[in-house]
Amino acid sequence: MTPSYNFAFLDEDTKRMLRRALLKAVAIPGYQVPFGSREMPLPYGWGTGGIQVTAALLGPDDVLKVIDQGADDTTNAVNIRRFFARVAGVATTERTVEASLIQTRHRIPETPLREDQILVFQVPEPEPLRTLEPREAETRTLHALGDYGLMHVKLYEDIAQYGHIATSYDYPVLVDGRFLTSPSPIPKFDNPKLDRSPALMLFGAGREKRLYAIPPYTRVESLAFDDHPFEIQQWEHRCELCGSGESYLDEVVVDDRGGRMFVCSDTDYCGRRRTEAQA
């Protein structure tokens, strides 16, 4: 731990501001709470929102896991894990079951989460309506009125044009029947894990200066139509490393002759299954 920083990098005033915002976020599920996002030692877009939320939560007893697209060993995950090991001296892990706090970019771990775990999402664009309505004043009004017709029209246009809803990630959800919410760019494969999750889920968007929450055991509904129900991705392949037919698969190009393989995106899940298979 580097002693010249306050614990977990942020000063205490900033942490208090974040903590007040987090409590309001939990009290109003799916509502985006504005907060005073600070400049962090890495640029906006690299998970500064998630990092600030994690810094406000972190204590010396926590065990931190950081994943990027499911993997513990990619640049963003390694950097953020090292950052907190350095400025907070906390224990880190790559194992989902050992972690008390998991910061994630764009995936939810395959291993089911527990009540004593908190999941922190890095969010690039917290406003699900932003691509449909650029004005913040207007989207705030739409949320105030619970008027989400725009999003239904967008999904309907997908069906009219492609025959199915073509949104495959950042698939909009309705939280507790009230607020339309971005689940962050997780694949829609992960959307069912948001519904009535035992773990508290917190979302931080640093550049957009918003944070929001989905409390445990809260109804989270992926938008759909009666005749076009919500469906998740399916593969004709199994993971070529661990053989799982239930996890989210990445397609990896392995040579320059068009060779490719499908492997689990969750490296901890895949690794553990391979270890168990050997034993």
Partner 1 sequence: MLAAFADPVFDSQRTFRELLQAMARPAAPRPLPVLPPAPAPVAPAAMAILLTLCDATTSVWLQQPSDEAVRHLRFHAGLRLADEPQAADFALISEPAAMPPLQRFGAGDLRYPDRSASLIVQVDGFRSGAEADRLRFAGPGLREPVALAIDGLPADFWQQRAALSARLPLGIDLFFVAAQQVLALPRTTRLLET
DSSP calls for 180-202: EE---S-BGGGHHHHTT-SSEEE
Q: What span, in angstroms and rounded, lies between the C-alpha atoms of 178 and 38? A: 29
148 binds partner 1 (CB under 8 A): no
178 binds partner 1 (CB under 8 A): yes
6 binds partner 1 (CB under 8 A): yes
56 binds partner 1 (CB under 8 A): yes
Site for partner 1 in 212-241 (CB under 8 A): 213, 215-219
User: Is 47 assigned a catalytic role?
Assistant: no
Stretch that binds partner 1, among 30-38, 70-78, 229-237, 254-262 (CB under 8 A): 30-38
User: Is 204 assigned a catalytic role?
Assistant: no
90 binds partner 1 (CB under 8 A): no
26 binds partner 1 (CB under 8 A): yes
Amino acid (one-letter) located at 239: C
Of 1, 2, 5, 19, the one binding partner 1 by CB under 8 A:
19
Beta bridge partners of 201: 119, 214
Tokens of 57: 């939560």
Active-site residue, selected from the candidate residues 36, 163, 264, 271: 264
Closest contact distance (angstroms) between CB of 71 and partner 1 is 28
196 binds partner 1 (CB under 8 A): yes
For residue 173, CA distances in Å to 41, 56, 77, 88, 178 come to 32, 26, 26, 34, 10
Write down the residue that tokens 């009004």 correspond to.
141
- Give the number of C-alpha atoms closer than 13 A to the C-alpha of residue 163, restricted to the C-beta side: 0
10 binds partner 1 (CB under 8 A): no
Instruction: Give the max Cα distance, the chain.
Output: 59
Of 1, 5, 20, 153, the one binding partner 1 by CB under 8 A:
20
Active-site residue, selected from the candidate residues 30, 50, 146, 259: 30
- Hey, how many other C-beta atoms are within 10 angstroms of the C-beta on 98? 12
Q: What angle do CA 19, 25, 28 make, to 5 degrees?
A: 145
Of 25, 173, 186, 242, the one binding partner 1 by CB under 8 A:
25
Q: Which is nearer to partner 1, 27 or 132 (CB)?
A: 27
Q: What span, in angstroms and rounded, lies between the C-alpha atoms of 28 and 178? A: 9
Stretch that binds partner 1, among 44-52, 147-155, 208-216, 240-248 (CB under 8 A): 208-216
Could you tell me if 185 and 101 are in contact, meaning their C-beta atoms sit under 8 angstroms apart? no
Of 94, 125, 133, 176, the one binding partner 1 by CB under 8 A:
176
Q: What span, in angstroms and rounded, lies between the C-alpha atoms of 89 and 72? A: 19
> Which residues of the shown chain bind partner 1 in the complex (CB under 8 A)?
6-7, 12-13, 15-17, 19-29, 31, 33-34, 56-60, 115, 140-141, 143-145, 176, 178-179, 196, 200, 213, 215-219
**Residues designated catalytic:** 30, 239, 242, 264, 270
